[in-house]
């Protein structure tokens, strides 16, 4: 069996891997590390959770060590682009771990944080920079950063960057980066636009593919509920509360919705029935998103509701279940969603809720990913349960407080009777007994406190 020591990595990197307890590379790592060490451009196709970060970070750290170039002013030597804030933070953490003994400086910049802080920490440059495309271009436009010193350019999860609308940003970054560089592409899928982008970015790349495109992991059991849209919330509450059993034991549960408002609504409804959860989506600030991830990782709040913005930024081995509360309208996103479970060699369970209007999405997912679902039955008397569940049933409006009518004749009853009293008349703040405006024919002359005495001769 191939080990990291057989791939040509340097001793400091191997020691850092030993400190993390890694000895055997994954298939994508075993195939990608040797050509990257040789300086070749590379296109890596592998499912999420298969170790792509180490596949490009380990050999790139070695190449930076061997070149011994200095840190460029307001630039970097290795630039890693990631589609989401969570993924960028995760990659930066891995870079610090893998390069712990290499003496390389690592920084990360993402949207939703202080631009001034990012400008200050990049003023003197860095060896490794992990960034989201939008924030990177913000700093370039402010002339606080440039790409003149880039030796290695990495695009991780490149297909999702296209899905999020970063195609124009990627083309601009390609124009600003030096032509003489090493370029590494890593992605879980290979749409047509990625092939066109690879043609412009890379020079005769080595292609590495360890699994067929857009297939689902073999260690993930996939189940399906056919349920009406207005019944989904009740079914979710029954499952999470343990009143309806599903395969597997809950450890951490990641639930996906299509929209930000949908995620917030699920959190609110779960809280109404006593189930605590957090939401993570694009409308949340970076501290809020990081706090939700930390609580999820520590299992303080083991239920997390997310949109696809977080589909590839959560690398937590303890995710036992992924529930697709709403099916994605892009089949490839299903692969990324369920890839949050069955990580680090563990098994996982994926459960999908499919309503009548989502049958077309389910058909596309089956056709594109070759997914095999096991149909699960709804709870007994489920419709009666739905109609009787409190949080899913709209509460009747509270009756308005009736106001006592005023008696005939216009007389006001004693007490306020639910109505407001008229405000008391405002008294003039001047001296008592002095009528306003009587000072020697001049209006308001009596207001003054200052007295003028006649001069006596």
Identify the CATH number of the domain in which residue 139 sits: 3.40.50.300
Claim to verify: residue 253 and residue 195 sit in the same structural domain: no
pLDDT exceeds 50 at position 417: no
* Structure confidence at residue 409 (pLDDT): 55
In a domain, 452, yes or no: no
Q: Which residue has the higher pLDDT, 84 or 176?
A: 176
* Structure confidence at residue 191 (pLDDT): 74
Sheet holding 278-280, edge to edge: 278-280, 303-306, 253-256, 321-324, 348-354, 220-226, 374-375
Residue 261 — very low, low, confident or very high, per pLDDT cuts 50/70/90?
A: very high
Residues of 200-209 as b/e, b for ≥16 C-beta within 10 angstroms?
ebbeebbebe
Please check whether residue 313 is in contact with residue 87, taking contact to mean a CB–CB distance below 8 angstroms. yes
pLDDT exceeds 50 at position 388: yes
* Structure confidence at residue 30 (pLDDT): 94
Last residue of a domain, one of 388, 413, 447: 388
Q: What is the pLDDT of residues 188-226, one digit of tens each?
A: 777 778 888 888 889 999 999 876 555 666 789 999 999
Residue 85 — very low, low, confident or very high, per pLDDT cuts 50/70/90?
A: confident
- Share of residues in the chain with pLDDT > 90 (%): 56
Claim to verify: residue 44 and residue 159 sit in the same structural domain: yes
* Structure confidence at residue 390 (pLDDT): 45
The mean per-residue pLDDT over the stretch 435-456 comes to: 48
The mean per-residue pLDDT over the stretch 417-428 comes to: 53
pLDDT exceeds 70 at position 283: yes
d(CA 103, CA 95): 11
Claim to verify: residue 191 and residue 307 sit in the same structural domain: no
Q: What is the pLDDT of residues 295-350, one digit of tens each?
A: 999 999 999 999 987 656 677 878 999 999 999 998 878 988 898 888 766 889 99
Q: Which residue has the higher pLDDT, 254 or 160?
A: 254
Sheet holding 106-109, edge to edge: 106-109, 126-131, 76-81, 152-156, 182-187, 42-45, 206-209
Sign of CA dihedral 72, 78, 84, 90: negative
Claim to verify: residue 224 and residue 350 sit in the same structural domain: yes
pLDDT exceeds 50 at position 452: no
Claim to verify: residue 85 and residue 225 sit in the same structural domain: no
pLDDT exceeds 90 at position 29: yes
pLDDT exceeds 80 at position 453: no
pLDDT, the chain, mean: 84
pLDDT exceeds 70 at position 164: yes
- Share of residues in the chain with pLDDT > 70 (%): 81
Q: Among 67-71, 201-205, 282-286, 413-417, which is the least confidently predicted range?
A: 413-417
Claim to verify: residue 189 and residue 231 sit in the same structural domain: no
Residue 392 — very low, low, confident or very high, per pLDDT cuts 50/70/90?
A: very low
In a domain, 449, yes or no: no
Containing structural domain, residue 26: 4-209
For residue 21, report the phi and psi dihedrals to the nearest 5 degrees.
80, 20
Count of Cβ atoms closer than 10 Å to residue 40 Cβ: 17
* Structure confidence at residue 456 (pLDDT): 45
In a domain, 229, yes or no: yes
The total number of residues written for the chain in this structure: 457
The mean per-residue pLDDT over the stretch 390-395 comes to: 44
The total domain count for the chain is 2
Last residue of a domain, one of 162, 177, 209: 209
* Structure confidence at residue 391 (pLDDT): 45
* Structure confidence at residue 352 (pLDDT): 97
* Structure confidence at residue 129 (pLDDT): 98
* Structure confidence at residue 428 (pLDDT): 55
Please check whether residue 381 is in contact with residue 252, taking contact to mean a CB–CB distance below 8 angstroms. no
3-state secondary structure 377-440: CCCCCHHHHHHHCCCCCCCCCCCCCCCCCCCCCCCCCCCCCCCCCCCCCCCCCCCCCCCCCCEC
In a domain, 433, yes or no: no
pLDDT exceeds 80 at position 231: yes
**Tokens representing 123?**
């003023």
Sign of CA dihedral 439, 443, 449, 453: negative
In a domain, 443, yes or no: no
Claim to verify: residue 340 and residue 294 sit in the same structural domain: yes
Last residue of a domain, one of 366, 388, 410: 388
Claim to verify: residue 362 and residue 228 sit in the same structural domain: yes
* Structure confidence at residue 365 (pLDDT): 93
* Structure confidence at residue 290 (pLDDT): 85
Claim to verify: residue 176 and residue 240 sit in the same structural domain: no
In a domain, 397, yes or no: no
Write the CA distances from 320 to 145, 224, 262, integer angstroms: 41, 16, 22
Q: List, in sequence order, every residue forming a beta bridge with 184; answer none if it has no partner.
A: 42, 154
Claim to verify: residue 195 and residue 229 sit in the same structural domain: no
* Structure confidence at residue 212 (pLDDT): 57
Claim to verify: residue 279 and residue 301 sit in the same structural domain: yes
In a domain, 424, yes or no: no
**Tokens representing 166?**
């970063």
Residue 418 — very low, low, confident or very high, per pLDDT cuts 50/70/90?
A: very low
Q: What is the pLDDT of residues 112-161, one digit of tens each?
A: 889 999 999 999 999 999 999 999 999 999 999 999 999 999 999 888 88
In a domain, 431, yes or no: no
Claim to verify: residue 243 and residue 355 sit in the same structural domain: yes
| Range of 199-203, 282-286, 310-314, 358-362 with top mean pLDDT | 358-362
């Amino acid at each position: 069996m191939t080990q990291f020591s057989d791939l040509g990595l340097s001793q400091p990197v191997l020691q850092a891997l030993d400190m993390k307890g890694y000895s055997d590379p994954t298939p994508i790592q075993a195939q990608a590390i040797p050509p990257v060490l040789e300086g070749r451009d590379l296109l890596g196709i592998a499912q999420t959770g298969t170790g792509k970060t180490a596949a490009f970070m380990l050999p790139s750290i070695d190449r930076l060590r061997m070149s011994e170039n200095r840190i460029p002013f307001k630039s970097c030597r290795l630039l890693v682009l990631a589609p989401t804030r969570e993924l960028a933070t995760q990659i930066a953490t891995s870079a610090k771990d893998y390069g712990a003994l290499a003496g390389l400086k690592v920084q990360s910049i993402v949207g939703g944080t202080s631009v001034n802080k990012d400008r200050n920490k990049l003023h003197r440059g860095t060896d490794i920079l992990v960034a989201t495309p939008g924030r990177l271009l913000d700093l370039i436009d402010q002339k606080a950063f440039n790409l003149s010193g880039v030796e290695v350019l990495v695009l991780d999860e490149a297909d999702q960057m296209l899905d999020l609308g970063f195609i124009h940003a990627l083309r601009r970054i390609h124009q600003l980066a030096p032509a003489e560089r090493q370029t590494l592409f890593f992605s879980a899928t290979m749409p047509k636009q990625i092939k066109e982008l690879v043609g412009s970015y890379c020079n005769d790349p080595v292609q590495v593919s360890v699994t067929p495109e857009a297939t689902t992991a073999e260690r993930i059991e996939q189940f399906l509920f056919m349920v009406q849209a207005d019944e989904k919330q009740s079914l979710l509450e029954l499952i999470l509360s343990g009143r309806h059993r599903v395969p597997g034991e809950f450890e951490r549960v990641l639930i996906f919705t299509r929209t930000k408002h949908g995620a917030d609504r699920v959190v609110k409804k779960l809280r109404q029935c006593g189930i605590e959860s957090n939401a993570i989506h694009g409308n949340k600030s970076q501290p809020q998103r990081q706090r939700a991830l930390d609580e999820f990782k520590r299992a303080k709040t083991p239920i997390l509701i997310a949109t696809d913005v977080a589909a590839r930024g959560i690398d937590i081995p303890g995710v036992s279940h992924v529930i697709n509360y709403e099916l994605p309208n892009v089949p490839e996103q299903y692969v990324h969603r369920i890839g949050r479970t069955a990580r680090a060699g563990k098994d996982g369970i994926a459960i999908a809720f499919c309503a009548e209007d989502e049958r077309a999405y389910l058909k596309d997912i089956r056709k594109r990913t070759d997914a095999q679902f096991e149909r699960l039955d709804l709870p007994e008397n489920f419709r009666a349960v739905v109609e009787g569940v409190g949080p899913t049933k709209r509460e009747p409006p509270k009756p308005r407080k009736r106001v006592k009518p005023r008696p005939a004749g216009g007389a006001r009853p004693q007490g306020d009777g639910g109505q407001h009293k008229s405000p008391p008349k405002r008294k003039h703040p001047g001296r008592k007994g002095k009528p306003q405006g009587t000072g020697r024919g001049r209006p308001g002359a009596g207001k003054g406190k200052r007295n003028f005495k006649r001069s006596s001769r």
